Amino acid sequence: MAALLEIDGLKSGYGEVQVLWGLSVQVQQGKMTTIVGANGAGKSTALRTVMGSVRTWKGRILLDGSDVTKLPPNAKAKRGMVLVPEGRQLFPDMSVEENLEMGGYSHRARKKEKQNLERVYELFPRLKERRTQKSSTLSGGEQQMLAMGRGLMQEPEVLMIDELSLGLAPVLAQQLFLSLKKLRGQGMTIVLVEQNVHLALAMSDYTYVFAEGRIHIHGQSDEVAKMDEVRKAYLGL
């Protein structure tokens, strides 16, 4: 099966410091692919490079077979590549609904703005209850729901999420993962960088383990979870 998103030999970094050393990743349509690894392994840099906020030094990024490597982030977004960034990056003085509306700015998203807003509120009823509140008044979990909701308002072909559970209580992290599972069940393609390796392996279809800017291990998530090296290094077993 051809990959919806394909990363081939990707190299990038910051200034003169190289972070990624030839990554090759395939993301299948309708599947959840997770990227795990130690801090500094290059996980977030990979997503930023794919999205275009970090320049690609070498390699290719293909979306549904089309080379989008050199496109700027706004052009990639118009094609359906959406990144929910680490740290949420909400508009603090805007209401919940205003933040969501900011996600539906593209021509493709505007066509389904009402439908997508209903989908977000169905997925996250708490946001509907707080739709008139400023985003700065929300709890950490609610802010992460809002960041995800804003991403969904962009009508994504590929939804990339950087550190879904960062700073959240385990019960909230599990709720958010169940939301992702529901989206995957609806056919959405998801790429997730995640520090909670237990949940990432349990909920996803395919996993890449990064180490020092390279792919150290990859495979079906249930198989990766059984590997002794992964169990010792990341699962505490």
DSSP 136: G
- Is the pLDDT confidence value at 1 over 70? no
CB 20 within 8 A of CB 46: yes
Say whether 215 sits in a helix, a strand or coil.
strand
Distance from C-alpha of 167 to C-alpha of 162, rounded to nearest angstrom: 13
User: Computed from CA positions of residues 155, 117, 136, 125, in that sequence, does the dihedral angle turn out positive or negative?
Assistant: negative
pLDDT in tens, 166-196: 888 889 999 999 999 999 999 999 999 999 9
Of 133, 151, 120, the closest CA to residue 92 belongs to 133
Closest by CA to 95, choosing from 54, 136, 153, 144, is 136
What is the pLDDT, as a whole number, of residue 237?
Answer: 52
Contact between 135 and 96 (Cβ < 8 Å)? yes
Task: State the chain's mean pLDDT as an integer.
Answer: 94
Cβ atoms of 61 and 50 within 8 Å: the answer is: yes
DSSP state letters, 7-36: EEEEEEEETTEEEEEEEEEEE-TT-EEEEE
Region for residue 3 given its phi and psi (left: phi exceeds 0; alpha: psi -120 to 50; beta: otherwise): beta
Domains (range + CATH), the chain: 1-80+157-237 (3.40.50.300), 87-153 (no CATH)
pLDDT at 104: 80
pLDDT tens-digit series, residues 75-122: 999 999 999 998 878 999 999 999 999 988 777 777 888 999 999 999
**Alpha-carbon gap, residue 56 to 20, rounded angstroms:** 10
pTM of the model: 0.94
Using one digit for the tens of pLDDT, what is the confidence trace for 16-49? Answer: 999 999 999 999 999 999 999 999 999 999 999 9
